[in-house]
Chain A
């Protein structure tokens, strides 16, 4: 059973469209991070959310942390081909130390 459920697994959209990726769990997170990974490279940290209800914006990307700290979402406005990649949510679970639990990832393809 996957501790962190991420959806959708695949997303193929046209340039200019909006999209949302979801990350859910039955566990409470102490913090949650979103990463973007390109093929053959390491994940690159996009944002960290810590406070329930928190919203952070990074240009066209909006990250939200659920009030109960069990879920998060990533919304991309007016997607561009450069947004193509694997988006991963990762969480620290209370009382499980420093390790990150990763979702399965969302493979995003933005076509021009």
Chain B
């Protein structure tokens, strides 16, 4: 158990809909990262928040947005969903450890029908 929690575990929805994925980081970690894992693209970095502020952005679509709240939990919002958005979405958190080690949650499997 990494200490990072994610809900829900599974999400099935239709094209055009909007969903929210939730992540709680390890106790004491200020940074939260979101990644998308699909069969053809592997693990891709989406966005990072540090203590409530956006720190870095990766290949995140404009239809996707995220935020980190004062209690440090984070939400990833996916809107106008398309079939190609079906993937595993992982949240990771890090503290101030050597090499900025990131610890991953169990993921949310999103299926868009």
Contacts and interface: CB of A to CB of B under 8 A. Distances in A.
B98 interface: yes
Main secondary structure of the interface of B (DSSP, over half): strand
A27 B92 CA distance: 24
A100 B2 contact: no
A102 B4 CA distance: 20
Of listed A44, A100, A102, residue having the most chain B CB within 10 A: A100
A49 B98 CA distance: 9
Contacts of B64: none
A3 to B, nearest CB: 11
Interface in B17-59: 31, 33, 35, 42-45, 48, 50, 55-56, 58
Given A41-B106, A42-B107, A98-B31, A33 B101 contact: yes
A99 interface: yes
B85 to A, nearest CB: 18
A78 interface: no
Interface of A: 30-33, 35, 40-45, 48-50, 88, 90, 92, 96-105
